[in-house]
Structure 1
């Protein structure tokens, strides 16, 4: 479904600050594939290049070099018009559920936005569809009249997920979708994402620094460090025993220091 081939990207200074010294390589020759119905975890610390790669996959940031191909269509060869052809099949859920929505809109309006952009529906049909989507993510159809300030963080992230699945996309890029939530809501959102993946056949690119989250939801994991994929596995449960230094840094950030307390992970 998705092929990322030798993608590199840099951010540099501008004007009088622009120089080779100012330029920083964020991605360095990154390649991976994602199959239909799969959840690929993109795991790494802050600054590893994960979010930049997510923007490139979504068609929001043209890479300096390399190719991104979605269902045989190369995203950056035909400009914005080309990206629009696959936009409805590529959706996103971001970390900050509040900044991802217009605070003046109701949930019905937020969820219905992609439907209004891509489909011609009567007001009654649009209302019915948004109500169904709210129920699909564990909320009530009546919640459609609420504004973002009337939801908890976990509930509003469900609204964002409902918006992301409204067009029945093939791939959703999840950029730290649970990191701003408490542990109870993190678990609930991960359970919801797993259920949606199985029930409607979604594929996910799950971007996170949370090793426990990728072990819960992901089928495969690629670990990023300093703009490169340095480790990958088809067995996420094996991550705690991986010997790679970048993986062990992530493991050590979660696990107790004493090895005798790590038995539940291995």
Structure 2
């Protein structure tokens, strides 16, 4: 379904009066993603994960390589194909607050893709938005509330409701739980798993949290310095990996129980 082939990217350095060497961000990235699969993209901050996510979403053209969705190039296809890709590929970003218009209501936020792509009557759209709110664990009565009235976890649920409104084939989740506390992280991961089971969607789950990647992913790609350094065909394979970076990431994760975190922090000093 998604084919990322030899993608490289760099940012031009310098300004009008002086030049610097181009800054490499991604180098020869290739992978595929099949229907109904959650692919974890794991790595520490600054490895190029979010840049790759933007390229896949069509927000940033790569310096080299191709990104194809359902056989169509995400940058060179005709207008009709690109319109279809934008409908079928949605996103949930890390900052749930900046991802929404603070002046819009929850109903307006969730209903935006429906207004852009569907021809629903006002009554049909209202009913659909109410269903989406309830599906992500909120109340239909929340429809007229603005973002300031919601907690971070609740607002991220609204972002997820907007992302699934068109029942897309792929959702790019870029650090979608990183700004939430542990309780909300667990709840959002459970919600995402349930939605994938209901709709058969694929996820590209971009994260630096090893435990989150292990929890939700079918396969996991590990990135470092803009390159893929390891691919695990299952969470179990990642845990058994002898790759130095993978072992470092696993060793750095906090134990789930608070009492064990004290032991972990003491032993790591």
Bin the TM-score by the shorter chain: over 0.9
Q: Distance in 1 between matches of 2:69 and 2:99?
A: 24
Which residue of structure 2 lines up, in the alignment, with residue 238 of structure 1? 237
Distance 2:243 2:186 in 1: 28
SS at match of 2:54: helix
1:4-28 superposed Cα distances (whole Å, 9 cap, x missing partner): 00000001223234232xx111000
* Aligned mates of 2:20, 2:81 — CA distance in 1: 32
Q: Which runs of 5+ in 1 are unaligned?
A: 262-266
Q: Shift of the alpha carbon at 1:231?
A: 0.2
Is the Cα contact below 8 Å between 1:59 and 1:83 reproduced in 2?
Answer: no
1:202 aligns with 2:201: yes
Partner of 2:11: 11
Look up the match of 2:180. Answer: 181
Alpha-carbon distance in 1 for matches of 2:205, 2:100 = 20
Q: Deviations over 1:158-187 (max 9, x none)?
A: 000000000110000000000000000000
In the aligned structure 2, how far is the partner of 1:108 from the partner of 1:82?
A: 28
Alpha-carbon RMSD across the aligned residues, in angstroms, is: 1.8
**What's the offset of the Cα at 1:191?**
0.0
Preserved CA contact (<8 Å) 1:76 1:82: no
Alpha-carbon offset, residue 81 of structure 1: 6.3
| TM-score, normalised with respect to structure 1 | 0.92
> Partners of 2:90 and 2:46 in 1: how far apart?
23
Deviates more, 1:44-53 or 1:9-18: 9-18
Q: Report the CA distance shift for 1:82/1:60 in structure 2 as closer, same or farther (over 3 A).
A: farther
For residues 244 and 18 of structure 2, the distance between their equivalents in structure 1, rounded to whole angstroms, comes to 34
- Superposed CA deviations along residues 42-89 of structure 1, whole A, max 9, x for unmatched, are 000111010000001111110001011100111112377653231000
Q: Distance in 1 between the 2:84 and 2:144 partners?
A: 32
1:211 aligns with 210
Report what 1:142 is aligned to.
141
Deviation at 1:106, TM superposition (A): 0.6
Q: How many residues align?
A: 258
Aligned-partner Cα distance in 2 for 1:38–1:17: 46
